[in-house]
Amino acid sequence: MAGDVFQRGFERAPGVKVGVGDVAGRLSMDAIFGLMTAAQTPGSMLDKTIAGTTTTLGGGLGGGIVAGMIPNAGKNILRHNPHVRMVAELAGGVGGDMVGMSAGDALLRMKSPDGMSERDRQYKQADESYRSQLEQQILAKYGMGGLQ
Protein backbone atom coordinates (compact mmCIF):
# COMPACT_ATOMS: atom_id res chain seq x y z
CA MET A 1 0.00 0.00 0.00
CA ALA A 2 2.59 2.61 1.08
CA GLY A 3 4.99 1.45 -1.63
CA ASP A 4 2.25 1.77 -4.25
CA VAL A 5 1.42 5.30 -3.10
CA PHE A 6 5.10 6.25 -3.17
CA GLN A 7 5.58 4.76 -6.65
CA ARG A 8 2.49 6.60 -7.96
CA GLY A 9 4.06 9.80 -6.68
CA PHE A 10 6.95 9.37 -9.12
CA GLU A 11 5.18 8.23 -12.29
CA ARG A 12 5.10 10.65 -15.21
CA ALA A 13 2.07 9.24 -16.98
CA PRO A 14 -0.37 6.33 -16.53
CA GLY A 15 1.30 3.03 -17.25
CA VAL A 16 4.79 4.49 -17.73
CA LYS A 17 7.32 2.61 -15.66
CA VAL A 18 9.20 4.69 -13.08
CA GLY A 19 12.89 4.87 -13.90
CA VAL A 20 15.99 5.93 -12.03
CA GLY A 21 15.91 9.30 -13.80
CA ASP A 22 12.36 9.96 -12.56
CA VAL A 23 13.34 9.28 -8.97
CA ALA A 24 16.60 11.23 -9.26
CA GLY A 25 14.81 14.19 -10.79
CA ARG A 26 12.21 14.29 -8.05
CA LEU A 27 14.72 13.86 -5.22
CA SER A 28 17.44 16.22 -6.49
CA MET A 29 16.03 19.30 -4.73
CA ASP A 30 15.57 17.34 -1.52
CA ALA A 31 19.21 16.23 -1.74
CA ILE A 32 20.31 19.84 -2.26
CA PHE A 33 18.35 20.94 0.82
CA GLY A 34 19.86 18.04 2.75
CA LEU A 35 23.36 19.20 1.78
CA MET A 36 22.49 22.75 2.83
CA THR A 37 21.23 21.48 6.17
CA ALA A 38 24.40 19.44 6.67
CA ALA A 39 26.59 22.43 5.84
CA GLN A 40 24.77 24.64 8.36
CA THR A 41 24.67 22.10 11.17
CA PRO A 42 27.31 22.70 13.85
CA GLY A 43 29.19 19.75 15.27
CA SER A 44 30.97 16.69 13.95
CA MET A 45 30.69 15.08 10.52
CA LEU A 46 28.36 12.51 12.07
CA ASP A 47 26.07 15.32 13.27
CA LYS A 48 26.11 16.86 9.79
CA THR A 49 25.40 13.48 8.17
CA ILE A 50 22.46 12.78 10.47
CA ALA A 51 20.94 16.22 9.89
CA GLY A 52 21.42 16.13 6.11
CA THR A 53 20.17 12.58 5.68
CA THR A 54 17.02 13.01 7.75
CA THR A 55 16.17 16.23 5.89
CA THR A 56 16.73 14.59 2.49
CA LEU A 57 14.68 11.52 3.37
CA GLY A 58 11.90 13.53 4.98
CA GLY A 59 11.49 15.87 2.02
CA GLY A 60 11.77 13.14 -0.58
CA LEU A 61 9.37 10.76 1.10
CA GLY A 62 6.92 13.52 1.98
CA GLY A 63 6.79 14.86 -1.56
CA GLY A 64 6.51 11.40 -3.11
CA ILE A 65 3.79 10.22 -0.76
CA VAL A 66 1.63 13.35 -1.02
CA ALA A 67 1.97 13.37 -4.83
CA GLY A 68 1.04 9.67 -4.89
CA MET A 69 -2.09 10.35 -2.86
CA ILE A 70 -3.54 12.68 -5.53
CA PRO A 71 -6.70 10.95 -6.78
CA ASN A 72 -7.54 10.09 -10.37
CA ALA A 73 -10.79 11.89 -11.13
CA GLY A 74 -12.52 10.57 -14.26
CA LYS A 75 -11.12 11.73 -17.59
CA ASN A 76 -9.17 14.57 -15.98
CA ILE A 77 -6.41 12.63 -14.26
CA LEU A 78 -5.31 15.01 -11.51
CA ARG A 79 -2.29 12.93 -10.58
CA HIS A 80 -0.61 13.68 -13.89
CA ASN A 81 -1.54 17.36 -14.07
CA PRO A 82 1.83 19.13 -13.67
CA HIS A 83 0.37 22.04 -11.70
CA VAL A 84 -1.42 19.81 -9.21
CA ARG A 85 1.68 17.63 -8.86
CA MET A 86 3.91 20.65 -8.27
CA VAL A 87 1.73 21.92 -5.43
CA ALA A 88 1.40 18.44 -3.92
CA GLU A 89 5.14 17.74 -4.11
CA LEU A 90 5.95 21.14 -2.64
CA ALA A 91 3.51 20.71 0.24
CA GLY A 92 4.65 17.15 0.91
CA GLY A 93 8.31 18.09 0.58
CA VAL A 94 8.09 21.00 3.01
CA GLY A 95 6.07 18.93 5.48
CA GLY A 96 8.51 16.05 5.10
CA ASP A 97 11.45 18.42 5.64
CA MET A 98 9.91 19.61 8.88
CA VAL A 99 9.41 16.03 10.08
CA GLY A 100 12.90 15.05 8.91
CA MET A 101 14.54 17.97 10.66
CA SER A 102 12.69 17.20 13.87
CA ALA A 103 13.76 13.57 13.64
CA GLY A 104 17.36 14.63 13.01
CA ASP A 105 17.33 16.98 16.00
CA ALA A 106 15.91 14.21 18.17
CA LEU A 107 18.64 11.80 17.01
CA LEU A 108 21.35 14.39 17.70
CA ARG A 109 19.99 14.96 21.20
CA MET A 110 19.76 11.20 21.84
CA LYS A 111 23.40 10.61 20.89
CA SER A 112 24.65 13.36 23.19
CA PRO A 113 25.41 12.56 26.85
CA ASP A 114 23.84 15.82 28.05
CA GLY A 115 20.74 15.46 25.86
CA MET A 116 21.54 18.58 23.85
CA SER A 117 22.61 19.06 20.27
CA GLU A 118 25.59 21.25 19.43
CA ARG A 119 23.18 23.98 18.30
CA ASP A 120 21.32 23.73 21.64
CA ARG A 121 24.62 24.20 23.49
CA GLN A 122 25.46 27.25 21.37
CA TYR A 123 22.03 28.75 22.07
CA LYS A 124 22.42 28.09 25.79
CA GLN A 125 25.84 29.74 25.85
CA ALA A 126 24.53 32.78 23.92
CA ASP A 127 21.55 33.07 26.30
CA GLU A 128 23.79 32.94 29.37
CA SER A 129 26.12 35.55 27.89
CA TYR A 130 23.22 37.87 27.06
CA ARG A 131 21.66 37.38 30.49
CA SER A 132 24.97 38.24 32.18
CA GLN A 133 25.38 41.31 29.98
CA LEU A 134 21.87 42.54 30.84
CA GLU A 135 22.46 41.95 34.53
CA GLN A 136 25.67 44.01 34.44
CA GLN A 137 23.94 46.84 32.56
CA ILE A 138 21.04 46.97 35.02
CA LEU A 139 23.37 46.94 38.04
CA ALA A 140 25.45 49.74 36.50
CA LYS A 141 22.36 51.80 35.67
CA TYR A 142 21.16 51.81 39.30
CA GLY A 143 24.66 52.31 40.79
CA MET A 144 24.84 48.85 42.32
CA GLY A 145 28.10 47.80 40.67
CA GLY A 146 28.27 46.12 37.37
CA LEU A 147 30.35 47.19 34.42
CA GLN A 148 30.45 50.88 33.61
The per-residue pLDDT for range 47-63, each reduced to its tens digit, is: 999 999 999 999 999 98
Identify the pLDDT of residue 146. 65
> Cα dihedral sign for 8, 23, 27, 61?
positive
Find the length of the chain: 148
Q: Which residues contact 107 (CB under 8 A, 6 or more apart)?
A: 50, 54
Query: Is the pLDDT assigned to residue 108 strictly greater than 90?
Result: yes
Identify the pLDDT of residue 6. 67
Query: Is the pLDDT assigned to residue 34 strictly greater than 60?
Result: yes
On whether the pTM is more than 0.85, the answer is: no
The per-residue pLDDT for range 67-102, each reduced to its tens digit, is: 888 887 666 677 778 888 889 889 999 999 999 999
Report d(CA 147, CA 137) in Å as an integer. 7
Map out the domains of the chain as residue ranges.
Answer: 2-111, 117-148
User: What is the average pLDDT value for the chain, to the nearest integer?
Assistant: 87
Looking at 16-20, 33-37, 98-102, which range is the least confident one? 16-20
